[in-house]
Amino acid sequence: MKIGILPVGEIAPDVLLGVQQGLVKTFPDIACTIIKRVMPVPKLAFDKKRNQYSSSVILNEIRSYASKHEKFHGVLGVVDVDIFVPELNYVFGEAYTPGKAALISLWRLKPKFYGESAGADVFLLRALKESIHELGHTLGLPHCPRSLCVMHFSNSIFDTDKKQSLLCDQCYLQAALAISNIG
Ligand SMILES: [Zn+2]
Ligand SMILES: [Zn+2]
């Protein structure tokens, strides 16, 4: 299975690299490429009233990118703006379940956002967890009831920090099966 990591707007290369390396370690038999082309953040996604960006509008753009680039079985967009879905104040990411497009936002993963002094390692680990989580959704994985599993829903950054950057045995098996079906 080939995954493309697509920067949506300018994204620090070390974050993209960290996500790439982490994904390859997590999922069996996946190849992961960082796409050189930067996709601009779609202007249409901006919601003036909320001063945030619509996650679904961005995700839709990622899906059309994925459908034009069939060599990728999935495309993970990485954005550094605050994203939302109408029923929630914010989201860390969104994905089609199952599907070929996923999105994470770095905006609320930065320790600085919470006034924390934690360093880049904490930030990178959070980005990796959310990337695994959204990619898991594209493979058809639902939310997992185990709070330490990376497929557990993150309601806040506390949940993200609590869970591990790993799929539990059950989610891993499901992911492996989905990947072997893709080939
Ligand atoms: Zn989720
Ligand atoms: Zn699980």
Q: At what angle do helices 13-26 and 120-138 cross, to 10 degrees?
A: 50
Going from the Cα of 10 to the center of ligand 2, the distance in angstroms, rounded, reads 32
pLDDT-derived band at 24 (thresholds 50, 70, 90) equals very high
CA of 94 to the centre of ligand 1 (A): 7
Nearest ligand by distance to the CA of 143: 1
pLDDT tier at 183, thresholds 50, 70, 90: confident
Q: What are residue 3's DSSP bridge partners?
A: 32, 74
Residue 134 known to be catalytic: yes
Average pLDDT of 2-23?
A: 97
Q: Over the stretch 99-141, which tens digit does the pLDDT of each residue have?
A: 999 999 999 999 999 999 988 999 999 999 999 999 999 999 9
For 32-84, the pLDDT digits (tens) are 999 999 999 999 999 999 999 999 999 999 999 999 999 999 999 999 999 99
Separation between Cα atoms, residue 7 and residue 5, nearest integer Å: 7
Among candidate residues 61, 94, 130, 134, the one labeled active-site is 134
Handedness of CA 64, 65, 70, 76 (dihedral sign): negative
The structure tokens 């557990």 sit at 152
